């Protein structure tokens, strides 16, 4: 095998934004990069569609010029599709390819796509080999802890990936069957990091600067990957890099929303065709942004995930704060209108 040192180095010591369908749209990735995300990736793209030359996937392959390194994530159920999809994806010149063996969605796994491969080690091996055969690009393999709690096999999967020439493993510490019901299991992530020589990125429940420092100290992971934490507070990257929690004021939170709006309008257009798309994405993101709660010491006793999964329902007194905490659709529409009218704190 050729010397893959440089390819592997790409994945050392990184704070990465996770691949995310919808949430990982180009302007949102740009926002996260501005806050300090060091690596970003496309949304999941089905390899067989790329292989067929479908043009609908093309927008998903695009990166912003500020996104470097940038990966393209593909998923397939069969080695031939994975190989052909990898060839097309590589021709778009990403900095690396990400192979998705984590997607839990029923319609996907029924077709052998995503996490389904965790039940078929030989198939997983053949799919990684097929991608490796068509490109020298750095190759990241994304897995989960396993299919179910009775079938936790991430170490075996990671060894297969390493054998087949993967340059890095990203592991989400939950099984397919758990979805988000349990906290991510960082002990299985630690085992994977011990088991292979290539860099391992740990993924699951990174919400506070202390989460990253603790996992880096306690495991041999070479970096962390952040998904929901970045959807709730894109400034998490600033926190993770500085090691300090940031409490944005209400005006600063509006500023973050406006920055996203501006970049989304630049990307999708602010005309009759573009603006409704910007609105759809903006409202989608509000579904996560409103869950943000400032972290205070009193919360320290609570587990980290409780910040995401349970709502701190103490209603703030200030009506402007209250609006940003609201999960009601009418309030989200009001926020959107006020943004358009520049009628908000800090405008
Ligand atoms: C809205 C959303 C979309 C996602 N889409 C993808 C995807 O396209 N590809 C992928 O590998 N993982 C996807 N994931 C999973 C995340 O990358 C990540 O593995 C998971 O959310 C655990 O990280 P977290 O605890 O930081 O959220 C998605 C997660 C969310 C919340």
Q: What is the CATH number of the domain that holds 44?
A: 3.20.20.70
> Is residue 306 included in any domain, yes or no?
no
Min mean pLDDT across 70-79, 175-184, 200-209, 328-337 is at 175-184
Ligand 1 closest atom vs CA 226: 26
Do 264 and 197 share a structural domain?
Answer: no
172, 212, 227: which to mutate for ligand 1, most atoms within 8 A of CB?
227
**In the chain, what percentage of residues exceed pLDDT 70?**
94
Do 277 and 178 share a structural domain?
Answer: no
43 pLDDT above the threshold of 90: yes
Do 258 and 171 share a structural domain?
Answer: no
- Domain end: 225, 242, 259, which one? 242
Instruction: Report how far residue 258's alpha carbon sits from residue 340's, in angstroms, rounded to the nearest whole number.
Output: 9
Indicate the pTM of the whole model: 0.95
238 pLDDT above the threshold of 60: yes
Looking from the CA of 20 toward its CB, the CA atoms found within 13 Å total 22
Do 34 and 171 share a structural domain?
Answer: yes
Convert the pLDDT of each residue in 128-154 to its tens digit.
Answer: 999 999 999 999 999 999 999 999 999
- Please state the rounded mean pLDDT for residues 211-217: 97
Do 274 and 130 share a structural domain?
Answer: no
Residue nearest to atom 19 of ligand 1 (CA): 172
Do 282 and 157 share a structural domain?
Answer: no
Residue nearest to atom 15 of ligand 1 (CA): 20
Residue nearest to atom 28 of ligand 1 (CA): 20
Buried b (16+ CB within 10 A) or exposed e, 249-279: ebeebbbbbebbbebbbebbeeeeeebeebb
Dihedral (Cα; 241, 345, 285, 332), 10-degree rounding: 160
Do 267 and 183 share a structural domain?
Answer: no
Number of domains observed in the structure of the chain: 2
**125: exposed, middle or buried (C-beta count within 10 Å: 0-12, 13-18, 19+)?**
middle
- Please state the rounded mean pLDDT for residues 236-250: 95
Instruction: Report how far residue 29's alpha carbon sits from residue 105's, in angstroms, rounded to the nearest whole number.
Output: 23
Do 84 and 183 share a structural domain?
Answer: yes
Do 173 and 27 share a structural domain?
Answer: yes
* 230 CA distance to ligand 1 middle (Å): 10
CA angle 230/268/270 to nearest 5° reads 115
Domain that includes residue 324, residue range: 250-293+313-340
Residue nearest to atom 30 of ligand 1 (CA): 20
Do 256 and 197 share a structural domain?
Answer: no
346 and 254 Cβ atoms separated by less than 8 Å: yes
User: Annotated catalytic, 32?
Assistant: no
Ligand 1 closest atom vs CA 44: 8
Q: What value does the mean pLDDT of the chain take?
A: 94
- Please state the rounded mean pLDDT for residues 109-113: 97
Q: What is the DSSP letter of 15?
A: E
- Please state the rounded mean pLDDT for residues 242-255: 95
- Domain end: 200, 215, 242, which one? 242
Convert the pLDDT of each residue in 165-208 to its tens digit.
Answer: 999 999 999 999 998 889 999 999 999 999 999 999 999 999 99
**Active-site hit among 10, 51, 60, 103:** 103
Confidence of residue 333 (pLDDT cuts 50, 70, 90): very high
297 pLDDT above the threshold of 80: no
């Amino acid at each position: 095998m050729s010397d893959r040192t440089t390819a592997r180095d790409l994945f050392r010591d990184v704070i990465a934004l996770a691949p995310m369908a919808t949430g990982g749209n180009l302007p949102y990735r740009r926002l996260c990069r501005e806050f300090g995300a060091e690596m970003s990736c496309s949304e999941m793209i089905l390899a067989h569609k790329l292989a067929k030359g479908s043009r609908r996937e093309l927008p998903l392959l695009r990166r912003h010029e500020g996104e470097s390194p940038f990966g393209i994530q593909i998923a397939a159920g069969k080695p031939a599709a994975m190989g052909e999809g990898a060839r097309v994806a590589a021709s778009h010149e990403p900095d690396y390819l990400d192979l998705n063996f984590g997607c839990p969605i029923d319609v996907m796994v029924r077709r052998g796509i995503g996490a389904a491969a965790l039940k078929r080690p030989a198939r997983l091996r053949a799919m990684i080999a097929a991608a490796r055969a068509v490109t020298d690009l750095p190759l990241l393999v994304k897995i989960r802890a396993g299919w179910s709690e009775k079938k936790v096999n991430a170490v075996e999967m990671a060894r297969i990936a390493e054998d087949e020439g993967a340059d890095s493993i990203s592991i989400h510490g939950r099984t397919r069957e758990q979805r988000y019901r349990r906290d991510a299991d960082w002990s299985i992530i630690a085992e994977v990091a011990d088991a292979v020589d290539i860099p391992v990125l740990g993924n699951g429940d990174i919400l506070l600067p202390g989460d990253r420092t603790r996992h880096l100290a306690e495991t041999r992971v070479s970096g962390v990957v952040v998904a929901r934490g970045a959807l709730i507070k894109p400034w998490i990257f600033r926190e993770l890099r500085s090691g300090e929690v940031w409490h944005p004021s209400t005006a600063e939170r509006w500023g973050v929303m406006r920055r996203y709006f501006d970049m989304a309008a630049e990307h999708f257009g602010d005309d009759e065709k573009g603006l409704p798309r910007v609105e759809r994405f903006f409202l989608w993101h509000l579904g996560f942004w409103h869950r943000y709660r400032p972290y205070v010491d009193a919360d320290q006793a609570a587990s980290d995930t409780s910040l995401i999964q349970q709502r701190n329902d103490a209603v703030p007194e200030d009506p402007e704060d209250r609006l940003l905490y609201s999960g009601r659709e009418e309030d989200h529409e009001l926020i959107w209108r006020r943004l358009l009218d520049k009628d908000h704190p800090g405008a």
